[in-house]
Structure 1
Amino acid sequence: MKKYYTIGETAKLLGVTTQTLRHYEKIGILEPSYISSENGYRYYEFNQFHIVDRIKYLQYLGLSLSEIASIVKKGTIEGLLPALEQQWQTTNQELEKIHSRIKDVEWYINYFTYLSKMDKSKVLYRMHMETRHLIYVPCYNSDELADMEIRLAEVRSSAELRDLSYRRQYGYELSSSGLFQRKFKPKAYFIYIKNRPQFFTPFYKELPAGEYLCFRSKLLREEWDTTILEKYFTSLSKPSTIVALEFEDNLVEYMNADYEIQILID
């Protein structure tokens, strides 16, 4: 077995480029065993090959070249383990973010296909809903739609709330009187968040879990039949928790959007 291998031979044997080996030399991870004083040719020995292999697998694990340089210089397992443990933590955090993003993508697929999966022959239907978390703003009689949207946008973009995990489910809390008069009289405008905030904010509200009576409507057009509602609530007290959730059927306009009105009954 020969003692020296040219930089080209070394690169070919180890599956790297000569430029990579020159870069390793430049940053001090791996210097040639011998440099010819006559022509500047660089030569490596066989016992250096394992260093390149180590660099490659540590890079694969996500360590930077500067971290690897420090590890190689120490040359001990004790110098390696803290970096691997830190990388394990970092990778697990990244994995959690990926899992969270996958769930978000699934949520949006369900959101955009929700109404198409519903039985349109059912005028009224019941659904059990889990607890939901909202960021909301109040609505006033003098408000136009733009006023409500701008008010919510300002709250969402505030320093306190802008980093919450939002989901694009907008909706309104409706008044009972408006519902039975077929009038769009929102008490609040809201957007979903994934979890309860870890701090107090007056803009947070929780929709309680429970049984909801539901129907679909072109809410902003005030198109819904109050007769069937009056009949249902003839012997019942008027509901206090009523929300209308927007479901987009296009990405351009929203005035004609379908809403699912959900009335807490149990």
Structure 2
Amino acid sequence: MKEYFTIGETARLNNISIQTLRYYDRIGIFKPYYTDQENGYRYYHVKQFFYLDIIKYLKYIRTPLEEIKRFGSYTCTPEDIQHFLEEQESVIVQEMEKLERARQLLHRRRNQLNEQLDICRKKDEGFVYFRYLDEQTILKVETPQVNPHDQSDLYYRKLADVIEKIGDVVDNYYGFIYDFKPYKDSRDIYCNSIYTTVCNEKKIDIGEKNIRLDTIPSGEYVCIAFDWSAKNYDEYYQKLYQYIESHGIQTDGNVYQVSLPIDFNSLREENFLTELRVLKK
């Protein structure tokens, strides 16, 4: 029975490329049984194929090459192998959790973009409209002196920092909450808080006193949307306020402003779609 095989035969019998075998030889993970000194040909013994199967298995479970090299650099007992595989299982579980969070973020972002497209259609009509919103879990920071016209990026970064510390990514959805009143000028508005939505609230550990988790209630909201500008803000807020007052609509006393970026080019001037929401009671 044949015991020694060329690199081409070894590659074909083990469903692996010649280039991969050469690379494994070069970095010391899987070396040929011997190399012909006259012509440089590599030869592998049939008994080595078992170890190649182990390497392929470890690669399949996403073990880094450095770990595979370390694993094969000394004689392992079954206990050593068991401990090694337990470590790899832990790594895989962590990766699965990251992928699940990424899937949730992707799903939420797609829903937000669908919502944004719907708001854009409403904005083009220029009228007050009603829509039902599900309850939202939010992370918010108290901002007693912030006006909707002020730069609020630093407050938003505080929220992003809390979310990123648990391995999640903050999305592009952020808003303000302030009192629903008959403001003569939108520069008289002072926001109670700035918020963003979250999906892994159970894992959030908040260290700062003025940041906390909260919810925006579900229900029917009276809304108006516009392209953000100081002029538009005054005009559309007044239109929304007058509509609610003239129709005798009871509210929870808050305005929930949502801002969504329209342009994702960082070199251009900021361009936001804004929606003002007031919850009917």
CA deviation map 1:38-91 (0-9, x unaligned)? 555443222222222221222122113343344444354433222222222222
For the pair 1:170 / 2:174, whether they are aligned, the reply is yes
Q: For 1:168 and 1:82, how far apart are their aligned partners in 2? A: 42
Q: Which runs of 5+ in 2 are unaligned?
A: none
Q: In structure 2, what residue type is equivalent to 1:191?
A: Y
For the pair 1:260 / 2:276, whether they are aligned, the reply is yes
Q: For 2:255 and 2:83, how far apart are their aligned partners in 1? A: 54
Q: In structure 2, what residue type is equivalent to 1:227?
A: Q
Q: Is the 8 A contact 1:241 1:263 kept in 2?
A: yes
Q: How many residues align?
A: 259
Q: TM-score, normalised by structure 1?
A: 0.75
Match of 1:242 among 255, 262, 267: 255
Counterparts of 1:98-109 in structure 2, within 5 Å, are: 98-109=99-110
1:199 equivalent in structure 2: 206
Q: Which runs of 5+ in 1 are unaligned?
A: none
C-alpha RMSD of matched pairs (Å): 3.6
Q: Is the 8 A contact 2:174 2:194 kept in 1?
A: yes
For the pair 1:155 / 2:158, whether they are aligned, the reply is yes
Q: Is the 8 A contact 1:242 1:264 kept in 2?
A: no
Secondary structure of 2:152's partner? helix
Secondary structure of 1:192's partner? strand
Q: TM-score, normalised by structure 2?
A: 0.72
Change (3 A) 1:138 1:15: same
Structure 1 residue 156: deviation in Å?
A: 4.6
Structure 1 residue 227: deviation in Å?
A: 3.1
Q: Is the 8 A contact 2:261 2:271 kept in 1?
A: no
Q: For 1:200 and 1:34, how far apart are their aligned partners in 2? A: 60
Q: Is the 8 A contact 2:263 2:272 kept in 1?
A: no
Q: For 2:271 and 2:29, how far apart are their aligned partners in 1? A: 63
Structure 1 residue 21: deviation in Å?
A: 3.6
Secondary structure of 1:127's partner? strand
Which is worse superposed, 19-28 or 53-62?
19-28
Q: For 2:130 and 2:40, how far apart are their aligned partners in 1? A: 83
Q: For 1:44 and 1:232, how far apart are their aligned partners in 2? A: 86
Q: For 1:154 and 1:256, how far apart are their aligned partners in 2? A: 18
Secondary structure of 2:50's partner? helix
Q: Is the 8 A contact 1:111 1:247 kept in 2?
A: no
Change (3 A) 1:117 1:256: closer
Q: For 2:240 and 2:85, how far apart are their aligned partners in 1? A: 64
Q: For 2:90 and 2:139, how far apart are their aligned partners in 1? A: 31
Q: Is the 8 A contact 1:135 1:204 kept in 2?
A: yes
Q: Is the 8 A contact 2:206 2:212 kept in 1?
A: no
Structure 1 residue 12: deviation in Å?
A: 3.8
Change (3 A) 1:244 1:21: closer
Q: Is the 8 A contact 1:58 1:68 kept in 2?
A: yes
Larger Rg: 1
Identity %: 23
Which is worse superposed, 117-126 or 217-226?
117-126
Secondary structure of 1:2's partner? coil
Structure 1 residue 173: deviation in Å?
A: 1.6
Q: For 1:256 and 1:44, how far apart are their aligned partners in 2? A: 64
Q: For 2:273 and 2:30, how far apart are their aligned partners in 1? A: 64
Q: In structure 2, what residue type is equivalent to 1:100?
A: R
Q: For 1:144 and 1:192, how far apart are their aligned partners in 2? A: 15
Q: For 1:78 and 1:260, how far apart are their aligned partners in 2? A: 62
Q: For 2:261 and 2:114, how far apart are their aligned partners in 1? A: 10
For the pair 1:228 / 2:243, whether they are aligned, the reply is yes
1:11 equivalent in structure 2: 11
Q: For 1:163 and 1:5, how far apart are their aligned partners in 2? A: 52
Secondary structure of 2:63's partner? coil
Q: For 2:272 and 2:68, how far apart are their aligned partners in 1? A: 59
Counterparts of 1:71-90 in structure 2, within 5 Å, are: 71-72=71-72, 73-90=74-91
Change (3 A) 1:229 1:91: same
2:221 equivalent in structure 1: 213
Q: For 2:94 and 2:112, how far apart are their aligned partners in 1? A: 27
Q: For 2:212 and 2:82, how far apart are their aligned partners in 1? A: 44
